Amino acid sequence: MDPTIRADLARLPAYVPGRSVPGSIKLASNEVALPPPPAILDAIARAAAAGNRYPDMGVVELTERLATRHGVTPDRVAVGCGSVSLCQQLVQVTCGSSADEVVFGWRSFEAYPIVTQVAGGTPVGVLLDDAHRHDPKAMLAAITPTTRLVFVCNPNNPTGTALGRDDLLSFLDAVPPHVAVVLDEAYREFVTDPDVPDGLTLLDTRPNLVVLRTFSKAYRLAGLRVGYAVGAPAVVEALRKVTVAFSVNSLAQAAALAALDCLPELLGACASVVHERARVRAELLAAGYEVPESQANFLWLPLGARTVGFAEHCARAKILVRPFAGEGARVTVAGAGDNDAFLAAARSFDG
């Protein structure tokens, strides 16, 4: 007889990662195409030599470096095994039963409903507006007495759209103070619109606000899984109570510390991504596609019923994009050559 398993897991949606196919150009996972700089690779190699030792469970040095960088005290920083693990921990520390609800825009980061259900809460998705942006009024209307947490992905994954200062601040100020708001800024380093505020500048007057950042995108460490949250000390203390012991491994900690020493190089490379983002979007618009303005390292093509056919067409051209059936395709902005290959495939699509 099999062990008893939670019945609700049968209804759990599966996370669908971007595919990797040998010989194909992968534009499906919002990764930065460049490898980590040599200084980071050297730090990883040195850390690997001590792989027989457990990592620092408290992630003390990295926490202190991040606190110094952002002008906060270390008790306001929690480091996790990628920001997605912190998403799940935030649900764990705010939701005590399936009666507790977590609100988020939809479509947005597909892990939100998954981690909510895994952690025991009830996911509540709120449709984006016609411009593929979060709809603050609709999200506020979805908050009920049982709402415990709200996720706002800004810029939003997979649409790349972002809320500006007025919309975001009005929303934050209208959320009841006992409801935690998680501002997921995984793509912050690619934002060029000056109207999109840095969430870290909004924390001091909003104790219910938590800002998430990651080393997976601009810092090129997606394979090593490091993210962090900045928030009120009480929230950070709770996050540390539910973290999985030793989940941020030694190589990840060493790489993240080295990345902080390589900021000019890493952030400088973001500028080339931003340049290519504008070029690829302009070419797609000229080819007749609808493409919302993106503040991330990817573009969104709202193709509706044509989405799967478009992705299959690209795959035949050895270009892998990320389809969301019936909605649209997300395409990572890569180097110029890979982007040109994608544009050629997009122009030849007649579905």
Task: Supply the DSSP string of 158-179, one letter for each residue.
Answer: TT-----HHHHHHHHHHS-TTS
Domains 7-30+264-347 and 38-260 in one fold: no
Q: Percentage helix, strand, coil, to 5, in the chain?
A: 40, 15, 45
Per-residue pLDDT band for 9 (boundaries 50, 70, 90) equals confident
Asked if residues 323 and 191 have their Cβ atoms less than 8 Å apart, the reply is: no
Least confident of 13-17, 43-47, 85-89, 201-205: 13-17
Using the structure block, give the residue that is written with the tokens 């050629």.
Answer: 344
If you average pLDDT over residues 70-94, what whole number do you get?
Answer: 98
318: which 2 tokens? 């050895």
Q: How far is Cα 21 from Cα 267, in angstroms, rounded to an integer?
A: 29
Under CATH, to which class is 7-30+264-347 assigned?
alpha beta
Q: What pLDDT digit, counting tens, does each position of 131-177 carry?
A: 999 999 999 999 999 999 999 999 999 999 999 999 999 999 999 99
Beta-bridge mates of residue 122: 101
The pLDDT score that the predictor gives to residue 135 is 98
Contacts of 187 (CB under 8 A, 6+ apart): 30, 155, 157, 160, 217, 295, 296, 297
Cis peptide before 46 (omega within 30 of 0): no
DSSP character string of 110-149: THHHHHHHHTT-EEEEEE--TTSS--HHHHHHH--TTEEE
Q: How far is Cα 286 from Cα 299, in angstroms, rounded to an integer?
A: 15
Q: What pLDDT digit, counting tens, does each position of 304-349 carry?
A: 999 999 999 999 999 999 999 999 999 999 999 999 999 999 999 9
pLDDT averaged over every residue in the chain: 96
Classify domain 38-260 by CATH number: 3.40.640.10
Q: What pLDDT digit, counting tens, does each position of 27-47 carry?
A: 999 999 999 999 999 999 999
Using the structure block, give the residue that is written with the tokens 């200084």.
Answer: 39
The pLDDT score that the predictor gives to residue 8 is 82
Closest CA relative to residue 125, chosen from 297, 327, 295, 305:
327
Percent of the chain with pLDDT over 90: 93
If you average pLDDT over residues 238-244, what whole number do you get?
Answer: 97
Least confident of 6-10, 60-64, 70-74, 127-131: 6-10
Considering only residues 14 and 72, tell me which one the structure prediction assigns the higher pLDDT.
72
- pLDDT higher than threshold 90 for residue 239: yes
CA 95, 101, 103, 107 torsion-angle sign: positive
Among left, alpha and beta (phi > 0; psi -120 to 50; other), residue 18 is beta
User: 184: buried, middle or exposed (CB in 10 Å: 19+, 13-18, 0-12)?
Assistant: buried
- Position 207: which residue type? P
Q: How far is Cα 275 from Cα 350, in angstroms, rounded to an integer?
A: 28
The pLDDT score that the predictor gives to residue 176 is 98
The pLDDT score that the predictor gives to residue 48 is 97
Considering only residues 16 and 147, tell me which one the structure prediction assigns the higher pLDDT.
147
253: which 2 tokens? 């900690």
How many Cβ atoms sit within 10 Å of the Cβ of residue 114? 18
Collapsed DSSP state (helix, strand, coil) of residue 48: helix
Indicate the domain borders of the chain.
Answer: 7-30+264-347, 38-260
Q: Which of the 8 DSSP states describes residue 307?
A: H
Residue 159 main-chain phi, psi, to 5 deg? -90, -20
Q: How far is Cα 143 from Cα 102, in angstroms, rounded to an integer?
A: 9
The pLDDT score that the predictor gives to residue 107 is 97
Report in angstroms the alpha-carbon separations of 117 from 10, 123, 301.
Answer: 11, 7, 29
**Within 13 A of 59's CA, how many CA atoms are on the CB side?**
32
Q: What pLDDT digit, counting tens, does each position of 245-263 carry?
A: 999 999 999 999 999 999 9
- pLDDT higher than threshold 80 for residue 14: no
Asked if residues 246 and 57 have their Cβ atoms less than 8 Å apart, the reply is: yes
| Whole-prediction pTM | 0.95
Q: What pLDDT digit, counting tens, does each position of 110-129 carry?
A: 999 999 999 999 999 999 99
Q: How far is Cα 212 from Cα 193, in angstroms, rounded to an integer?
A: 19
The pLDDT score that the predictor gives to residue 13 is 77
The pLDDT score that the predictor gives to residue 18 is 77
If you average pLDDT over residues 87-100, what whole number do you get?
Answer: 96
